[in-house]
């Protein structure tokens, strides 16, 4: 599992090294199913009819071979050699960006062309010369008719989301455009469904196409796992916030969150860390030693969340997970089945959570068809849901305290208060304190707006809110331990008080103190793991700002 591995995956397909390294630099560890199937025939110059929805990695499946064919661009004499037709302006922009990213090292110039955008700008860029045009059919045809788009040098045509283009009534435009292209060209057609009308345009525009579909692996026979499968629809910008809420609601004991790329794994584990979660990254870029350390900590329960790529997770020998989270919809139903199969093992219960963007709905439906199981689409928990959940946990903790006894010395307090107060009120006040001390939120915590307007930094937990609003600080969690101290903002405790108390009482260097999160009623301080026990012993029973300190390891 070295740096080489990701490169090998794409390299083995026969792609230009510049493209292999572009894929590696984007954190792609290996080709997705549609890429594995479509790239080799496209590199051989064959036409391809591909069945794949958004989210499967289909853009790279056609863009990489297209760029391979164009090769290093001759900047001085650019002419349009690749044409990609897409149904919408959003897709035009997205695909053009992808082509630009993949083709960066080849100096390929790409231009998105779509309606609603100033024609002047498009004309200027076309005059300068471009290698690849990504266009919506209507606007492409406008340019052809005005004589401003010369497609006589097109070697590769891609029809992306062909079914959508037909649905949008672009059949005639497509025909008019294809008529202007050289006969001798390569054509690839991608569509989420291959209905008869797709067959008919494929017959017209493609020559002996190789048909590629995401392979359907038969589901393993055997006992049905007891897995609750849930999806939440979220906008990309709010994904981390939504994920944080879902984690808070679910309180997983051991979870893997799957991301598509190494870069995403690193970014997400860092965002989660900054929000106070014990999350660690695992991907193909780690050394064996680093992997072992991360895994050991996960097995021992020091970290409760692993953020992983599929490749890194493949070799993981982990008995059972309480939760599997797909940070994006997996690129194929098989990938979903593999990931989700890691929870609900041996008849235990498990939860599979998928975060999805609205545009990925088709992929989700494919998965349901493949697994023959329903994925329940639910709303992201609200602040109110989280408060209710917290109260449930408080109530369970109280029952446990009632069962475990040892309440005599507290009864005297209740008796004393009971002389002047209603017993139920006393109990309610005690529940309130217990509830608030769970995560430091107070009763006036403002409600958080629905997820669609939720600012990305908001998260409902008191301490974690603070963590999220601080600039993310890279905590080297490998050798730091979190300590819980029962004093917070309401005791007017600030970071200086905590650092001062720890450094003086435990006689440790302030450099051995890491992130500090201060909530209303408690604080979490990271200290070097080797010093954690000494810090707890040294501070126990001491005072900070005149208040007695209660201190323990943070769970
Ligand atoms: P698409 O289906 O083309 O819209 O791609 C969906 C997402 O998958 C995009 O964010 C791509 O950057 C990402 N992606 C494409 N290929 C790979 C790969 N081989 N490994 C990881 N992520 C990928």
Q: How far is Cα 306 from Cα 197, in angstroms, rounded to an integer?
A: 45
- Please give the pLDDT value at position 441: 45
* Lowest mean pLDDT segment, chosen from 224-228, 413-417, 549-553: 224-228
Q: Does the pLDDT of residue 463 top 50, yes or no?
A: no
Residue-wise pLDDT for 527-550, tens only, equals 888 888 888 888 887 888 888 888
- Please give the pLDDT value at position 436: 82
* Contact 259 CB / ligand 1 (< 6 Å): no
Of all protein residues, whose CA lies closest to atom 12 belonging to ligand 1?
57
To test the pocket of ligand 1, the residue of 59, 96, 259, 328 to mutate (highest count of ligand atoms within 8 Å of its CB) is 59
Confidence of residue 457 (pLDDT cuts 50, 70, 90): very low
Of all protein residues, whose CA lies closest to atom 16 belonging to ligand 1?
57
* Radius of gyration in angstroms for the set of CA atoms belonging to the chain, rounded to a whole number: 28
- Per-residue b/e over 6-24, b at no fewer than 16 CB within 10 Å? bbebbbebebbebbbbbbb
Average of per-residue pLDDT across 409-416: 90
Q: How far is Cα 403 from Cα 398, in angstroms, rounded to an integer?
A: 9
Phi, psi dihedral angles at 190 (to 5 degrees)? -115, 140
Ranked by mean pLDDT, which of 88-92, 461-465, 469-473, 546-550 comes out on top? 88-92
Ligand 1 center from residue 57 Cα (angstroms): 4
Ligand 1 center from residue 424 Cα (angstroms): 57
- Please give the pLDDT value at position 359: 85
- Please give the pLDDT value at position 192: 85
* Contact 459 CB / ligand 1 (< 6 Å): no
Residue-wise pLDDT for 150-190, tens only, equals 999 999 999 999 998 998 899 999 999 999 999 999 999 99
Q: Does the pLDDT of residue 380 top 70, yes or no?
A: yes
* Contact 54 CB / ligand 1 (< 6 Å): yes
49 φψ region: left (φ > 0), alpha (ψ -120 to 50), beta (else): beta
* Contact 514 CB / ligand 1 (< 6 Å): no
Ligand 1 center from residue 454 Cα (angstroms): 26
Ligand 1 center from residue 142 Cα (angstroms): 31
Q: How far is Cα 28 from Cα 8, in angstroms, rounded to an integer?
A: 11
Query: Helix, strand or coil for residue 179?
Result: helix
Give the residue with greater pLDDT, 511 vs 332: 332
Tokens representing residue 329 in the block? 């919809």
Percent of the chain with pLDDT over 90: 44
Of all protein residues, whose CA lies closest to atom 20 belonging to ligand 1?
28
The overall longest dimension of the chain from CA atoms, in Å, is 97
- Please give the pLDDT value at position 9: 85
Average of per-residue pLDDT across 126-141: 95
* Contact 461 CB / ligand 1 (< 6 Å): no
Q: Does domain 2-213 have CATH number 3.40.50.300?
A: yes
Q: Does the pLDDT of residue 220 top 50, yes or no?
A: no
Q: Does the pLDDT of residue 447 top 50, yes or no?
A: no
* Contact 219 CB / ligand 1 (< 6 Å): no
Phi, psi dihedral angles at 369 (to 5 degrees)? -65, -40
Q: Does the pLDDT of residue 2 top 90, yes or no?
A: no
* Lowest mean pLDDT segment, chosen from 175-184, 223-232, 285-294, 373-382: 223-232
Neighbours of 512 (CB within 10 A): 19
Asked if the domains at 2-213 and 227-382 fall in one CATH topology, the answer is yes
Ligand 1 center from residue 372 Cα (angstroms): 25
Q: How far is Cα 496 from Cα 280, in angstroms, rounded to an integer?
A: 28
Confidence of residue 499 (pLDDT cuts 50, 70, 90): confident
Confidence of residue 60 (pLDDT cuts 50, 70, 90): very high
To test the pocket of ligand 1, the residue of 33, 261, 357 to mutate (highest count of ligand atoms within 8 Å of its CB) is 261
Do the Cβ atoms of 58 and 81 come closer than 8 Å? no
- Please give the pLDDT value at position 50: 95
* Contact 309 CB / ligand 1 (< 6 Å): no
Of all protein residues, whose CA lies closest to atom 8 belonging to ligand 1?
57
* Contact 529 CB / ligand 1 (< 6 Å): no
- Please give the pLDDT value at position 417: 93
Residue 411: enclosing H or E segment and its boundaries? helix 408-418
To test the pocket of ligand 1, the residue of 9, 50, 60 to mutate (highest count of ligand atoms within 8 Å of its CB) is 60
Average of per-residue pLDDT across 228-250: 91
Ligand 1 center from residue 222 Cα (angstroms): 32
- Please give the pLDDT value at position 215: 52
- Please give the pLDDT value at position 478: 53
To test the pocket of ligand 1, the residue of 260, 310, 329 to mutate (highest count of ligand atoms within 8 Å of its CB) is 260
* Lowest mean pLDDT segment, chosen from 135-139, 160-164, 318-322: 318-322
Neighbours of 167 (CB within 10 A): 12
Sign of the alpha-carbon dihedral angle for 415, 420, 425, 428? negative
Say how many residues make up the chain: 555
Ligand 1 center from residue 54 Cα (angstroms): 9
Do the Cβ atoms of 549 and 542 come closer than 8 Å? yes
* Contact 60 CB / ligand 1 (< 6 Å): yes
Place domain 227-382 in its CATH homologous superfamily. Answer: P-loop containing nucleotide triphosphate hydrolases (3.40.50.300)
Average of per-residue pLDDT across 257-276: 92
Mean pLDDT, rounded, of the chain: 84
Q: How far is Cα 144 from Cα 155, in angstroms, rounded to an integer?
A: 17
* Contact 58 CB / ligand 1 (< 6 Å): yes
Q: Which ligand 1 atom minimizes the distance to the CA of 35?
A: 19
Alpha helices in 231-309 (DSSP H): 239-250, 262-274, 288-299
Confidence of residue 346 (pLDDT cuts 50, 70, 90): low
Give the residue with greater pLDDT, 321 vs 176: 176
Looking at residue 381, the DSSP 8-state letter turns out to be P
Query: Helix, strand or coil for residue 457?
Result: coil
Looking at residue 325, the DSSP 8-state letter turns out to be E
Q: Which ligand 1 atom minimizes the distance to the CA of 28?
A: 20
Domain ranges of the chain: 2-213, 227-382, 384-446, 480-553
Q: Does the pLDDT of residue 413 top 50, yes or no?
A: yes
Q: Does the pLDDT of residue 68 top 70, yes or no?
A: yes
Q: Does the pLDDT of residue 473 top 60, yes or no?
A: no
Place domain 480-553 in its CATH homologous superfamily. Answer: RRM (RNA recognition motif) domain (3.30.70.330)
* Contact 31 CB / ligand 1 (< 6 Å): yes
* Contact 56 CB / ligand 1 (< 6 Å): yes
Tokens representing residue 200 in the block? 């008919």
Ligand 1 center from residue 236 Cα (angstroms): 15
Q: How far is Cα 287 from Cα 4, in angstroms, rounded to an integer?
A: 12
* Lowest mean pLDDT segment, chosen from 21-35, 48-62, 292-306, 443-457: 443-457
Ligand 1 center from residue 486 Cα (angstroms): 45
Sheet holding 210-213, edge to edge: 110-113, 132-135, 82-85, 156-159, 186-191, 48-51, 210-213
- Please give the pLDDT value at position 347: 65
- Please give the pLDDT value at position 439: 60
Ranked by mean pLDDT, which of 217-226, 357-366, 424-433, 435-444 comes out on top? 424-433
* Lowest mean pLDDT segment, chosen from 266-275, 288-297, 394-403, 456-465: 456-465
């Amino acid at each position: 599992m070295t740096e080489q591995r990701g490169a090998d995956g794409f390299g083995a397909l026969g792609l230009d090294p510049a493209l292999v390294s572009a894929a590696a630099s984007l954190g792609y560890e290996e080709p997705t199913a549609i890429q594995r199937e479509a790239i080799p025939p496209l590199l051989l110059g064959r036409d391809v009819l591909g069945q794949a929805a958004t989210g499967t990695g289909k853009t790279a499946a056609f863009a990489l071979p297209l760029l391979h064919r164009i090769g290093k661009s001759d900047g001085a004499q650019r002419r349009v050699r690749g044409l990609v037709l897409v149904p919408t302006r959003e897709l035009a922009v997205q695909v053009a960006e992808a082509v630009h990213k993949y083709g960066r090292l080849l100096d390929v110039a790409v231009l998105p062309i779509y309606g609603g955008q100033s024609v002047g700008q498009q004309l200027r860029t076309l005059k300068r010369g471009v290698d690849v045009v990504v266009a919506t059919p209507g606007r492409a045809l406008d340019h052809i008719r005005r004589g401003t788009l010369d497609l006589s040098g097109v070697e590769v045509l891609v029809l992306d989301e062909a079914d959508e283009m037909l649905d949008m009534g672009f059949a005639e435009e497509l025909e008019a455009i294809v008529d202007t292209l050289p006969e001798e060209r390569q054509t690839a057609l991608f569509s989420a469904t291959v209905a008869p009308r797709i067959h008919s345009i494929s017959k017209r525009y493609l020559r002996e196409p190789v048909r590629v579909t995401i392979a359907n692996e038969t589901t393993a026979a055997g006992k049905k796992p007891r897995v609750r499968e849930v999806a939440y629809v979220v906008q990309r910008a709010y994904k981390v916030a939504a994920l944080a809420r879902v984690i808070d609601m679910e309180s997983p004991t051991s979870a893997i969150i799957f991301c598509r790329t190494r870069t995403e794994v690193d970014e997400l584990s860092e965002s989660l860390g900054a929000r106070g979660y014990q999350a660690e990254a695992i991907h193909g870029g780690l050394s064996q030693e680093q992997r072992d350390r991360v895994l050991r900590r996960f097995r021992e329960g020091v970290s409760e969340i692993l953020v992983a790529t599929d490749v890194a997770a493949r070799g993981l020998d982990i008995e059972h997970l309480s939760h599997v989270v797909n940070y994006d919809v997996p690129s194929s139903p098989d990938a979903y089945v593999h990931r989700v199969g890691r929870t609900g093992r041996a008849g235990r219960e498990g939860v599979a959570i998928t975060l999805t963007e609205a545009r990925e709905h088709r992929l989700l439906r494919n998965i349901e068809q493949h697994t023959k199981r329903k994925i329940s689409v639910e709303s992201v928990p609200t602040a109110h849901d989280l408060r209710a959940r917290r109260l449930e946990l408080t109530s369970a903790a109280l029952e446990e305290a009632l069962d475990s006894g040892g309440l005599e010395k507290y009864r005297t307090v209740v008796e004393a208060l009971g002389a002047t107060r209603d017993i139920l009120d006393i109990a309610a006040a005690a529940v309130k304190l217990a509830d608030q001390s769970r995560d430091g939120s107070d009763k006036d915590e403002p409600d958080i707006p629905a997820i669609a307007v939720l600012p990305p930094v908001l998260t409902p937990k008191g301490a974690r809110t603070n963590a999220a609003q601080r600039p993310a600080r890279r905590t080297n969690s490998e050798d730091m331990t979190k300590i819980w101290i029962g004093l917070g903002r309401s005791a007017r405790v600030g970071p200086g008080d905590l650092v001062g108390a720890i450094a003086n009482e435990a006689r440790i260097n302030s450099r051995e103190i890491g992130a500090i999160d201060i909530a209303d009623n408690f604080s979490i301080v990271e200290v070097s793991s080797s010093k954690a026990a000494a810090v707890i012993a040294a501070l126990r029973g001491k005072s900070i700002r005149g208040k007695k300190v209660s201190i323990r390891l943070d769970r």
